[in-house]
Amino acid sequence: GSTIGILGGGQLGRMLSVAAARLGFKTHIFEPGANPPAGHVADAVTTASYDDHGALLRFAKSCDVVTFEFENVPTAALDVIEAQVAIRPGREALRISQDRLTEKEFLQGLGLTVAPFADVPDAAAMQIAVDTIGAPAILKTRRFGYDGKGQARLRSADDAEQAVADMQGAPAVLEGFVEFSHEVSVIAARSPEGDVACFDPGENVHRDGILHSTTVPAKLSASQRMDAVLMAANILNALDYVGVLGVELFVTSQGLVVNEIAPRVHNSGHWTQNGCTVDQFEQHIRAITGWPLGDGSRHADVVMENLIGDDMDRVPELMKERDCALHLYGKSDTKPGRKMGHVNRIQRG
Ligand code: ATP
Ligand code: MG
Ligand code: MG
């Protein structure tokens, strides 16, 4: 069978590898860190830095297509790979989602609503930004933020100085605080032919900036659900996207506001593993290998709960729980805030 290269060896790369193996593909993981969770289930692992262009080239030559589990792959590394083999999804989706400012401008350009935002390239720009956006607000680094890291909240304009200091000189964007009733996300897929398929939107609860749970079905009216799916399709088409993409949305009385997009399989799509015939991981593998998209219709109500840090102590209990599918990532060291696994609980009426 042909080989799928995956940049990044975390839990998303691991679950992509399992899905690929089930469809008869081989996988090759490229990951700078030692002992990656995906390494145990992949056919091959390259442990090397993204600066090691020789290793990247050998990796690329061993693959028939390359994908990624995280959006911060350095541009120079992508150049080396792309000279050899196709990267799916493509460069444009990466370029846009690597930078919050570019991403917000892109989404606005599609006619979608985003939080009010202002560019804060340096400390000097903060005063004008606060005057424009007001408070409460959130200052976020333009690049490399995840799980709420690289963010500082402003309860009032008085917090501006501290917030800027928290950025440690990194370029940032100031976002107006969106008064949302709840958060939802759409996990959507697009094939090379332009077919689009969306999973049912999930309702997300965050704790300390980290996703805690996703519930399907989400609290959405029929028209909100339609809006959410159309927004996702709009984004996929604009990017000529191939693969699975996550779109995070705030639900407000004024309609849906796009928070951010992730050009990859997404934590809030893990419920699909036990709620759909074809889950987000298989859907991504199908899309990037040119298979037809699969049947992602939902056959159960599901609550996904992340197991973070010490939540691992609950595993013996969870093992005995009825209608509870346990997914563990095989990470050896438990750290606070580290995603160790998740459970999908099937809800029976
Ligand atoms: P992820 O792990 O999802 O990539 P992240 O670090 O990129 O997280 P965001 O998704 O931007 O961070 O923000 C994390 C959470 O903080 C959001 O899901 C939401 O609950 C809250 N939040 C972010 N931006 C805003 C905003 N403008 N208004 C209100 N709440 C917000
Ligand atoms: Mg993010
Ligand atoms: Mg987010």
Cβ atoms of 252 and 181 within 8 Å: the answer is: yes
151 is in an annotated binding site: yes
Cα 248 to middle of ligand 3, angstroms = 6
d(CA 42, CA 105): 37
To the nearest whole percent, how much of the chain has pLDDT over 70? 100
For residue 344, the model assigns a pLDDT of 98
Query: Identity (one letter) of the amino acid at 44?
Result: A
Reported confidence tier of residue 271, pLDDT bands at 50, 70, 90: very high
Q: Quick one: average pLDDT of 291-306?
A: 98
Q: Rounded mean pLDDT of 236-261?
A: 98
149 CA to middle of ligand 2, Å?
A: 9
Q: Which residues line ligand 1 (CB under 6 A)?
A: 115, 138, 145-149, 175, 177-178, 183, 206, 209, 248, 259-260
Quick one: average pLDDT of 232-251?
98
CB neighbours of 242 closer than 8 A, spacing ≥ 6? Answer: 88, 89, 90, 190, 191, 192, 287, 288
pLDDT of residue 349: 75
Per-residue pLDDT tens digits for 111-155: 999 999 999 999 999 999 999 999 999 999 999 999 999 999 999
Distance CA 330, CA 319 (A): 15
Cα 158 to Cα 10: distance, rounded to the nearest angstrom: 39
* 320: Cα within 13 Å, side-chain hemisphere: 3
Token pair listed for 325 = 């599918």
Q: Band of the pLDDT at 92, cuts 50, 70, 90?
A: very high
Model confidence at 300: pLDDT above 80: yes
For 327, the token pair is 């997914």
Cβ neighbour number for residue 138 with a 10 Å cutoff: 21
**Domains parsed from the chain with CATH numbers:** 3-87 (3.40.50.20), 116-176 (3.30.1490.20), 182-347 (3.30.470.20)
- The atom of ligand 1 lying closest to the CA of 180 is 29
Probe ligand 1: pick from 107, 256, 259, max atoms within 8 Å of CB? 259
Which tokens hold the place of 74?
């350095």
Tell me: pLDDT of 262 over 80.
yes
For residue 69, the model assigns a pLDDT of 98
In ligand 1, the atom with minimum distance to the C-alpha of 115 is 27
pLDDT, tens digit, 9 for 90 and up, residues 40-82: 999 999 999 999 999 999 999 999 999 999 999 999 999 999 9
For the segment 254-264, the average pLDDT, to the nearest whole number, is: 98
Instruction: Of 323, 271, 322, give the one whose Cα is nearest residue 296.
Output: 271
| Type of residue at 284 | H
Gap between the Cα atoms of 290 and 284, Å rounded: 10
In sequence order, the 6+-apart residues with CB closer than 8 A to the CB of 200 are 216, 217, 218, 225, 297, 298
Residues 6+ apart with CB under 8 A from 292: 191, 195, 286
Backbone angles phi, psi at 61, to 5 degrees: -65, -25
Taking the centre of ligand 2 as the mean of its atom positions, its distance from the CA of residue 263, in whole angstroms, is: 10
Distance of CA 99 to the CA centre of its chain: 14
How confident is the model at residue 285, as a pLDDT?
Answer: 98
137 Cα nearest atom in ligand 1: 27
C-alpha span between 231 and 225 (Å, rounded) = 10
| Ligand 1 atom index nearest CA of 151 | 6
Q: Tell me the backbone φ, ψ of residue 108, rounded to 5 degrees.
A: -60, -40
Whole-angstrom Cα distance, residue 228 to residue 251? 10
Q: What is the end-to-end Cα distance of the chain in Å, rounded?
A: 42
Residue 217 confidence (pLDDT): 98
5, two tokens: 């290269």
Q: Are strands 65-68 and 3-7 parallel, antiparallel or unpaired?
A: parallel
Strand ranges for 85-163 from DSSP E: 117-120, 137-141, 151-154
Q: If 0-12 CB within 10 Å is exposed, 13-18 middle and 19+ buried, where does residue 24 land?
A: exposed
CA distance 191 to 257: 26
Res 49: pLDDT: 98
Q: How far is CA 212 from CA 71, 143, 204, in A?
A: 21, 23, 7
Is residue 54 part of an annotated ligand binding site? no
Residue 199 pLDDT greater than 80, yes or no: yes
Q: Are 3 and 26 in contact (CB under 8 A)?
A: yes
For residue 175, say whether it is annotated as part of any ligand binding site.
yes
What are residue 285's phi and psi, to 5 degrees? -60, -45
The chain-wide mean pLDDT, for the chain, equals 97
Range 98-114 average pLDDT: 98
Name the pTM for this structure: 0.97
Measured in Å, residue 322 CA sits from the centre of ligand 2 at: 33
Q: How far apart are CA 33 and CA 8, in angstroms?
A: 9
Q: Is 341 annotated as a binding residue?
A: no
Rounded to 10 degrees, what is the CA torsion of 197, 199, 200, 203?
-140
Flag whether 71 is marked binding: no
Distance 59 CA to ligand 3 centre (A): 30
